[in-house]
Amino acid sequence: MIKQVYYLGGTSPSGFCSKFTEQIKQPGFYTYILKGGPGTGKSTLMRKIAEAFSDHPVSLYYCSSDIRSLDAVVIEDKKIIVADGTAPHVFEAYYPGASQEIINLGEFWDGEMLKNHSDAIHYLLDENLKYHARVRCYIKALASLNADIYSIGDDALNREKLDGYISRLCRKVTGKKKSGERGKISFKQLSAFTTENYSTKPLNGDYSVYLLHDECFAGSDYFLRNVADYLVNQGCDVTVSECTMHHTPVFEHIFSESAGIAFMTSNFLNRLEDPSAATVNFGRFYDKGMISAKKQRLSFDRKAVLELSKEAADALSTALAVHDELEKNYVNAIDFRKLGSFTDKFIKSLKNK
């Protein structure tokens, strides 16, 4: 059973960003880190593991650069993680043999065949990196515009009014303190930049959902940080999803399984909709006069962000097309009979743990 679906991470102004290392370092979890080039069967192996453990609570982590591809599988009740540890999300065995181990799927390729195609592999790898660099240039530019939008919103934010609303809402939705202990905050990625532009995975589970309509980022960020702190103080564990389209971390969504509540931000960039959710319009928490005075600037910023995000998505799509060509060289060099035999044995060993 699929507990939740995430992105492993995503493109940010500073390059690929992921906090999955926090998941790997969780006490009690054991992680298998898959190494090997593109097309060596990492994603296929993880799909087969997810299928084999369909009667267990499983969390899936997808690749933001290729939404067809799995980057990690977490079998929650068995505390087993299987993750792609190759670039751009390079993971290593922090406690080798004790909590993590490396699995090299490169063992199943024909090295001589790859050497015979070295010119094509070099060219395609360089082309792929070139288009990813272009994506980062666009993301850096739009992040600077988002910073301007955030700054305008931050200056116009009526914190006293918003604090009052936060206090009333928290008392309403959580009631009495859950336990004497503080909860924990973990970071996972519900939203990320993809070939289909900025995208959000749906939230699984029985949650009371609040949709925060905020076109200036600052109010919802302030709200989510304060609500997360409140829930943690109530003894609830909270999962935070940050928006990576900013130079500094901005809270975009939070949810708490123990509290049964989720707060999801909707804005011009993520275009998130949920007809069943309770809606909160953050326009009422901004000084209307200050926002009106910057109306033209805000309009320019938002239009430019959307244009840049479109160009970035096109560049990322081209990078993916190049990557698909690159994969063909590795797929042709893989001994799938041996890989299949290893997969069966590996899944059997996981079942016995």
- Average pLDDT per 10 consecutive residues for the chain, totaling 353 residues: 94 93 93 92 94 96 95 97 91 91 92 92 96 97 98 98 96 71 94 96 94 98 97 95 96 95 97 95 98 98 98 98 94 92 96 89
| Three-state SS annotation for 288-308 | HHHHHHCHHHHHHHHHHHHHH
Q: Are residues 174 and 230 in contact, defined by beta-carbon separation less than 8 angstroms?
A: yes
Question: So what's the pLDDT on residue 177?
Answer: 58
Tokens at residue 51, please? 């299928």
- Residue 230: left if φ>0, alpha if ψ -120 to 50, beta else—which one? alpha
CA 340/CA 105 separation, integer angstroms = 11
Domain residue spans in the chain? 2-109+335-351, 136-298
Question: So what's the pLDDT on residue 181?
Answer: 85
The 10 Å CB-count burial string (b at 16+, else e) for 306-344 is bebbebbbbbbbbbbebbeebbebbeebbeeeebeebbe
Is the dihedral angle over the CA atoms 285, 287, 290, 293 positive or is it negative?
positive
Question: So what's the pLDDT on residue 175?
Answer: 64
Question: So what's the pLDDT on residue 179?
Answer: 59
Residue 239's H or E segment, with its range, is strand 238-243
Question: So what's the pLDDT on residue 176?
Answer: 60
Measured in residues, the chain has a length of 353
Q: Are residues 73 and 62 in contact, defined by beta-carbon separation less than 8 angstroms?
A: no
Question: So what's the pLDDT on residue 89?
Answer: 86
**How many angstroms separate the most distant Cα atoms in the chain?**
69
Tokens at residue 247, please? 């130079």
pTM for the structure as a whole: 0.95
